Amino acid sequence: MLGLNKKDASLLLVVVILTMFAPFFLNPFPTESAMAQFNAGYPDLMQRFVIFGIFAIGFNLLFGLTGYLSFGHAAFLGVGSYAVVWMYKLLDYNVLPGLLLAVVVSAIFALAIGYISLRRSGIYFSILTLAFAQMMFAISYSDLIGRFLGISLTNGETGLQVYTSDPQVLLNDWETVPHLLGLIEMRSTYTLDLAGWSFDFNAGYYFCAFVMILAFYLAIRIFRSPFGLMLRAIKSNQQRLNYTGLNTRPYMLAVFVISGVYAGLAGGLMASMDPLAGAERMQWTASGEVVLMTILGGAGTLIGPVLGAGFIKYFENIFSKINENVLHTWFNFMPDGLENFVVAIIYPFIGKGWHLTLGLMFMMVVIFLPGGLVEGGQRIAKLLKRGKKDDDGANTATATKPAE
Amino acid sequence: MDAIILQVLNGLDKGSAYALIALGLTLIFGTLGVVNFAHGALFMIGAFCAVTLQRILSISKVTLSETKKNFLGQPSEIKTPYVESWFGPEVGASIIDWSVPLAIIFSIPVMIIIGVIMERGLIKHFYKRPHADQILVTFGLAIVLQEVIKYFYGANPIPTGAPDVFKGSFDFGVMLGYEANAIIYPYWRLVYFGFSAIIIAAVFAFLQFTTFGMVVRAGMADRETVGLLGINIDKRFTIMFGLAAAVAGLAGVMYAPINSPNYHMGMDFLVLSFVVVVVGGMGSLPGAVLAGFMLGILESFASMNQVKAILPGIDQIIIYVVAIIVLLTRPRGLLGRKGVMEE
């Protein structure tokens, strides 16, 4: 099916089903119940799941396949966002021209940055990409190029947004929010109430999900292509490839640009959901985040980055919401002294302490589980000796060597 | 001319911090071959050592005043730090006043212990793993350390003053024969520069003139052979890690009065310090120091108004631009050795 073998086709099918029915899966608890705080099925969060999924899939194409650790991928994310908002400002609120521009502009940036950074490998490559990203962050945060040209290009620290004074040559009267070809508004949501449960079906989410499935399909094709095989060869022994007379640079540059375009697309989708773009999207912590997602999910595997992105975004939201009072209600059944003790132990790791948990979790994964969640799943599957019966089977089939 | 001298001086203190952190990074990289992303966190912990000591010294005994009353009519509280009641008010007050320099003594053992624990507990297991894994695990550790500090000290910067003697600035220009107020330089920044010069000299002297240093240098050049000669090189490298942590910590302690310590100061410095190390040449100690001062001074030159008038905002990107140019023209960095980190 679609040029995929059976295992890949079933993996793609699983992803399609998961994304299409996500509003159901993510809202398993009735709205009135105490467990409702674990629901993640609201539009904003679901959009972030898929957008960061795209970002991580793209990053994984570079890092998972070739082992080149880029620490500056957020630069392309920011560029994509700016491109989309500029299209809003110049044309109208239709997202398609913006996304197209985001793809083109991020490809150009990736080509330039990749051309220079890929002259070096290993730690030098990481630091070069980091330096470029920080440079672009500084440039857009202070709007240096804009100031140089005498216009407002990134609008500095305020962030780029649409003003009524902007040209918007194609704007119609009814346009106030981002939409797709005038057919659907991105923020329009249909809420289905079913006996205590409520499910949100958001147009923007489905648009992003559609793009993610396309991105995922493309990633599978790249993984299975001769091109993908070449990239893996670069990862396992670049020197030997060079000695056999092969120039690896064009391959590396191609995958760097593809991966940059994925990031640009993800950035563009962010601005499509919410017509804003800020420099903080480019900061190196944002680049670090996508590295965390990919490693946590399992670098070099197809489904890993998507899982990692969903995992981090879900827990970021849920953990941040839990506060001391919630903890006290949970451990209410314990004797008072013990309750306070348990709450005091857990408290540093939740709420504002979410980053601490994330850091610890990340360290644990790097130390004990270099293949990420996917490897963890495989190990459990092996332990249970279930073989290739269910989803784990699909994961096993697509998993490759853990990241290096 | 006076403007140039002023910019050189301004660049010195930032350059000193870059040089010290880069020196520690290079020590770790040269000995253990590990890329330590948690080094900025060590710098930050050093700064918080100063904060902690100041707080410890200011622990006060609370007594009730017999004459003064607060607005509720109750006797108001008087806080007397214990050090003041032990050593008398004048000595006690000056001890608190000098808490940042005192923190140097306090921080050295603390930082060495933290460094040794880090190396033995975590990094030891990553020698055989790829560099990417080392980067990732130390990056995770940096996040954890940063969040732990944030949990205990809060997210706001904590002002930590230098001793009163060093407050204010002096007129450097008068000494060189310029008119008054042409070159004004804060005392503490001069102290910082002098201090870091001493530390750098001490590290080099330690490596150059002691037997221990000789063995370490031999180990940096050829670890295997030194091991075959029956020397326990791992133990020495662990101590070097502790030493590198102490250098970063001291840089942080003394930096506390210049920039109030906050939990993310380490990350801010780390990125730049990596750039410094790469520009200087991975594994080259003189290169790290040279590049640190060079980039610090370049940065302050770029923030001159005359330069900014031509290229607005160049001060924020100059370091990265220089790094990119250096890496493309001299891939090994300014003083990089052949055969180090060449993949």
Portion of chain A with pLDDT greater than 70, in percent: 95
CB contact B136 to A (< 8 Å): yes
Give the minimum alpha-carbon distance from B311 to chain A in angstroms, rounded to a whole number. 7
What residue type is assigned to position B82 of the chain?
Y
Q: Give residues with Cβ within 8 angstroms of A306, minimum separation 6.
A: A15, A53, A56, A57, A212, A216, A297
Percent of chain B with pLDDT over 70: 95
Query: Which of A124, A138, A404 has the CB atom closest to B317's CB atom?
Result: A138
Alpha carbon distance A197, A256 (integer Å)? 44
Rounded Cα gap, residues A121 and B342, in angstroms: 8
Residue A11 and residue A226 in contact, taking contact as beta carbons nearer than 8 Å: no
Residue A3 at interface with chain B, using a CB cutoff of 8 Å: no
User: Is the pLDDT reported for residue A165 higher than 60?
Assistant: yes
pLDDT at A386: 60
pLDDT at B340: 56
**Residue A185, min C-alpha distance to chain B (Å):** 39
The answer to whether the Cβ–Cβ distance between A116 and B324 falls below 8 Å is yes
B282: CB partners within 8 A, 6+ apart: A123, A124, B26, B29, B332, B333, B336, B340, B341
pLDDT at residue A154, rounded to an integer: 83
Q: Mean of the per-residue pLDDT values for chain A?
A: 84
Q: Does B127 touch chain A if contact means CB atoms closer than 8 Å? A: no
pLDDT at residue A390 above 70? no
Chain A positions touching B316 (Cβ under 8 A) are 138-139, 142, 144
**CA B335 – CA B22 distance, rounded (Å):** 14
- Return the half-sphere exposure (C-beta side, CA atoms, 13 A cut-off) of residue A85: 24
Distance between CA atoms of A198 and B239, rounded to whole angstroms? 60
Token pair 């489904």 in the structure block, residue: A303
Residue in this structure with the two tokens 């306070």, named with its chain if needed: A340
Inter-residue contact A23 to A50 (CB < 8 Å): no
Mean pLDDT across chain B: 84
Closest Cα in chain A, distance from residue B324 (Å): 7
Tokens 């503490």 sit on residue: B188
What backbone phi and psi angles, to 5 degrees, belong to B247?
Answer: -60, -45
Cα separation, B267 vs B245, in Å, equals 15
Residue A4 contacts residue A220 (beta carbons within 8 Å): yes
The pLDDT score that the predictor gives to residue A231 is 93
pLDDT the model gives residue A397: 45
Contacts of A147 in chain B (CB under 8 A): 312-313
Residue A248 token pair? 């690896």
Mean pLDDT of A225-242: 91
* Contact criterion met (CB < 8 Å) for A122 and B343: yes
- Residue given tokens 């662990």 in the structure block: B238
Interface check B212 vs A, CB under 8 A: no
Q: Could A358 and B324 be called an inter-chain contact, meaning their C-beta atoms sit closer than 8 Å?
A: no
Q: Mutual orientation of helices B131-153 and B265-280 as an angle, nearest 10°?
A: 150
Q: Are A358 and B143 within 8 A, CB to CB? A: yes
Helices (H), B182-338: 187-209, 211-221, 223-228, 233-255, 265-280, 285-302, 305-310, 314-329
Rounded Cα distance, B148 and B166, in Å = 32
Q: What ipTM was predicted for this assembly?
A: 0.80
Residues B243, A240: Cα–Cα separation, whole Å: 39
Interface test with A, best of B143, B153, B156, B318 (most A CBs within 10 A): B143
* A127: contact with B, CB 8 A cutoff: yes
- Measured N-to-C along each axis, helices B233-255 and B2-32 cross at an angle, to the nearest 10 degrees, of 150
A177: confidence class by pLDDT, cuts 50, 70, 90? confident
**Which of B244, B15, B310, B237 is CA-nearest to residue A144?**
B310
Q: Residue A341 has which token pair?
A: 């003790």
Residue window 249-308, chain B: list those with CB within 8 Å of chain A.
267, 271, 274-275, 278, 282
Give the start-end residues of each E strand in A114-217: 160-161, 179-180, 184-185, 189-194, 197-202
User: Per the CB < 8 Å rule, is A403 touching B132?
Assistant: yes
Q: Which of A241, A366, A367, A368 to mutate to test the interface with B (most CBs of B within 10 A)?
A: A366
- In this complex, the residue of B146, B147, B341 whose CB is nearest that of residue A122 is B341
Domain boundaries, chain A: 6-30+40-283
Of the residues A143, A356, A364, A401, the best mutation for testing chain B's interface (the one with the most B CB atoms within 10 Å of its CB) is: A356
pLDDT at A395 over 70: no
Exposure of A303 in the CB half-sphere (CA atoms within 13 A): 27
pLDDT at B111 (0 to 100): 93
Which residue from A minimizes the CA distance to B124?
A: A367
Q: Using the beta-carbon criterion (under 8 Å), do B131 and A363 form an inter-chain contact?
A: no
* Residue of B139, B320, B327 with shortest CB distance to A124: B327
How confident is residue B341, by pLDDT bands cut at 50, 70 and 90?
low
Instruction: Select the residue of B137, B148, B327 nearest A356 (Cβ to Cβ).
Output: B148
Give the pLDDT mean for A229-250: 90
At A179, phi and psi to the nearest 5?
A: -145, 170
Q: Which residues are A161's β-sheet partners?
A: A276
Cα–Cα distances in angstroms (integers) from residue B139 to residues A216, B37, B126, in the given order:
28, 5, 13
**CB-based contact A356 B275, cutoff 8 Å:** no
| Distance (Å) from the alpha carbon of B343 to chain A's nearest alpha carbon | 7
The length of chain A in residues reads 404
Q: Give the model's pLDDT for residue B342.
A: 52
Determine, for residues B327 and A67 on separate chains, whether the beta-carbon distance falls below 8 Å.
Answer: no
B130 inside 8 A of chain A by CB: yes
Closest CA to B331 of B264, A312, B339, A52: B339
**CB atoms B135 and A130 under 8 Å:** no
Residue B31 distance to chain A (closest CA, Å): 16
- Would the CB atoms of A119 and B147 count as touching at under 8 Å? no
Reported as half-sphere exposure (CB side, CA atoms, 13 A), residue A178 has a value of 28
| B179 in contact with chain A, both atoms CB, cutoff 8 A | no
Q: What is the C-alpha separation between A308 and A295, in angstroms, rounded?
A: 7
Confidence band of B156 (pLDDT split at 50, 70, 90)? confident
Tell me the C-alpha distance between B246 and B41, whole Å. 12
Q: What pLDDT score was predicted for residue A1?
A: 64
Instruction: Please state whether beta strands A197-202 and A189-194 pair in parallel, antiparallel, or not at all (unpaired).
Output: antiparallel
Q: Which one-letter amino acid corresponds to residue B138?
A: T
CA A163 to chain centre: 29
DSSP secondary structure letters along A11-65: HHHHHHHHHHTHHHHT--S-TTSGGGGG---SHHHHHHHHHHHHHHHHHHHHHHH
The torsion angles phi and psi of B64, rounded to 5 degrees, stand at: -95, 135
Minimum Cα–Cα distance from A352: chain B residue: B151
pLDDT of residue A387: 53
Place of tokens 């985040």: A289
A113, A115, A127: best mutation site toward chain B, by most B Cβ within 10 Å?
Answer: A127
How many angstroms separate the first and last alpha carbons of chain B? 45
Q: What is the mean pLDDT of residues A49-64?
A: 93
Q: Is the pLDDT of residue A75 over 80?
A: yes
On whether any CB of chain B is under 8 Å from the CB of A134, the answer is yes
pLDDT tens, A249-268?
999 999 999 999 999 999 99
Inter-chain contacts counted by CB atoms under 8 A, chains A and B = 114
Q: Which residue of B has its CA nearest to A285?
A: B267
Q: Which of B320, B329, B330 to mutate to test the interface with A (most CBs of A within 10 A)?
A: B320
Answer yes or no: are the C-beta atoms of A96 and A310 closer than 8 Å.
Answer: no
Helix, strand or coil, per DSSP, at residue A191: strand
Residue with tokens 């760097």: A256
Closest-CA residue of chain A to B268: A284
How far apart, in Å, are the Cα atoms of A224 and each of A161, A218, A341, A375?
41, 10, 52, 20
d(CA B211, CA B105): 25
A132 neighbourhood in chain B, CB within 8 Å:
320, 324
Angle at B261 between CA B260 and CA B263, to 5 degrees: 140
CA–CA separation, A363 and A21 (whole Å): 32
* CA–CA distance, A29 with A196 (Å, rounded to integer): 9
CB B300 within 8 A of CB B319: no
Higher pLDDT, A247 or A394: A247
- pLDDT bracket for residue B343 (50, 70, 90): very low
Q: How far is B149 from chain A (nearest CA, A)?
A: 10
The verdict on a CB contact (< 8 Å) between A363 and B137 is: yes
Q: How far is A302 from chain B (nearest CA, A)?
A: 20
Asked if B23 and B293 count as a contact pair (C-beta separation under 8 A), the reply is no
pLDDT 10s digits, B287-301 = 899 999 999 888 888
Residues of B with Cβ-Cβ distance to A295 under 8 angstroms: 136
The runs of H, that is alpha helices, within A170-248 are 203-224, 226-243
State the Cα–Cα distance between residues A53 and A293, nearest whole angstrom. 9
The tens digit of pLDDT for each residue in A90-135 reads 888 888 889 999 999 999 999 999 998 898 887 788 888 988 888 8
Nearest by CB to residue A359, choosing from B140, B274, B317, is B140
Confidence of residue A404 (pLDDT cuts 50, 70, 90): very low
- Cβ distance A144 to B316 less than 8 Å, yes or no, reads yes
pLDDT at B184 over 80: no
* CA B89 – CA B91 distance, rounded (Å): 6
Residue B309 token pair: 């008038």
- Does the CB of B156 have a partner CB in chain A at under 8 Å? no
pLDDT digits (tens, 9 = 90+) for A310-358: 988 888 888 777 777 777 777 777 777 887 888 777 777 777 778 888 8
Lowest average pLDDT, out of A136-145, B103-112, B307-316, goes to: B307-316
**Taking residues A20-36, what's their average pLDDT?**
79
Amino acid sitting at position B173: G
Are A366 and B136 within 8 A, CB to CB?
yes
Segment B81-110 mean pLDDT: 83
- What residues in A contact B25, CB-CB < 8 Å? none
Instruction: Sort A335 into a burial class: Cβ within 10 Å, 0-12 / 13-18 / 19+.
Output: exposed
Confidence of residue B338 (pLDDT cuts 50, 70, 90): low
Q: Which stretch of A139-148, A294-303, B207-216 has the lowest confidence by average pLDDT?
A: A139-148
Strands A184-185 and A179-180: antiparallel
